[in-house]
Structure 1
Amino acid sequence: MKLKLDKTNYTIAKFQPDFPVPTWFQTDKATFKSITYTDEECSIIMPTEHLDATEAQSIESDWFLLKIEGILDFSLTGILHKIATPLAEKEISIFAVSTYNTDYILMKQANLELAVTTLTTAGHQITT
């Protein structure tokens, strides 16, 4: 599987469920950013340097990103499994985000080298 590595430092932040989509999120031109609403929370993921976490209930910083290259058909199965399993065997925690086209996997910056080595050994191709 082809993966694209983004070494940008990302933060995952939790806000109140009624937190309005902030202007700083709307105007940011980051390669990857995500906002998700549930009845329990609003989660925002974006580059740390662009996130205004002053109203956040909780934040987790120091994540990097892997993007699965290409558009994934909804009928495909086991895509995340093929990536998550070798990482889990090395005790590397992931935070996965799926979009209509593909999947993104965030991991802690401290695990960057081990994650790249693990995934490459498992047969995945990683580009920057």
Structure 2
Amino acid sequence: MRLVLLEMELAVCRLSPEEEVPAWAMRRIGFFSITATEDELSLVCAADNVPAGVRCERGWRALKVIGPLDFSLIGIMSSLSDTLARAQVSIFAVSTFDTDYILLKEAQLAQASAALQQAGHELLRS
């Protein structure tokens, strides 16, 4: 797979399921994702957008699988996540209509890059 590293630092935030999606989460700077379930409102957005006091984990970076990817393709996320799991790299996965994103901690970026390249994947910078 060909992947591109997004430059921005991301935060993964958790709000209660009753909360409305806050405007700060949707400031359109490259990437954000919103998932609402009966248990939580989960946000991924630019770390700089998150106000103090919001429950979140900062220091994430995103690898974008260069797409678009056809829905009939099988094993893309499995191939990437298996490679990273063997390298002891924790991930947070986000998928869109066109492609997949793998979020990983900045501190594990070099380790992840080496593992992915060794497995034959190509990493590019945005």
Q: Same fold (TM over 0.5)?
A: yes
| Residue 96 (str. 1) matches residue 104 (str. 2) | no
Distance 1:53 1:87 in 2: 31
Distance 1:53 1:84 in 2: 32
Distance 2:51 2:72 in 1: 37
Aligned residue runs from structure 1 range 102-117, under 5 A: 102-117=99-114
**Taking structure 1 as the reference length, what is the TM-score of the superposition?**
0.91
| Residue 77 (str. 1) matches residue 74 (str. 2) | yes
Tell me the SS of whatever aligns to 1:8.
coil
Aligned residue runs from structure 1 range 1-128, under 5 A: 1-26=1-26, 28-52=27-51, 54=53, 56=54, 58-128=55-125
- C-alpha change, 1:53 and 1:43, in structure 2 (3 Å) is farther
Distance 2:119 2:104 in 1: 17
- C-alpha change, 1:33 and 1:53, in structure 2 (3 Å) is farther
CA drift at 1:105: 0.4
Write out the 4+ residue segments of structure 1 that deviate beyond 3 Å after TM superposition: none
Give the letter aligned to residue 117 of structure 2: T
User: Kindly, what percent of the aligned residue pairs are identical?
Assistant: 39
**Taking structure 2 as the reference length, what is the TM-score of the superposition?**
0.93
Q: Number of residue pairs matched?
A: 125
Give the letter aligned to residue 46 of structure 1: C
Q: Which runs of 5+ in 2 are unaligned?
A: none
Tell me the SS of whatever aligns to 2:29.
coil
Task: Name the Cα RMSD after superposition.
Answer: 1.2
Distance 1:24 1:93 in 2: 26
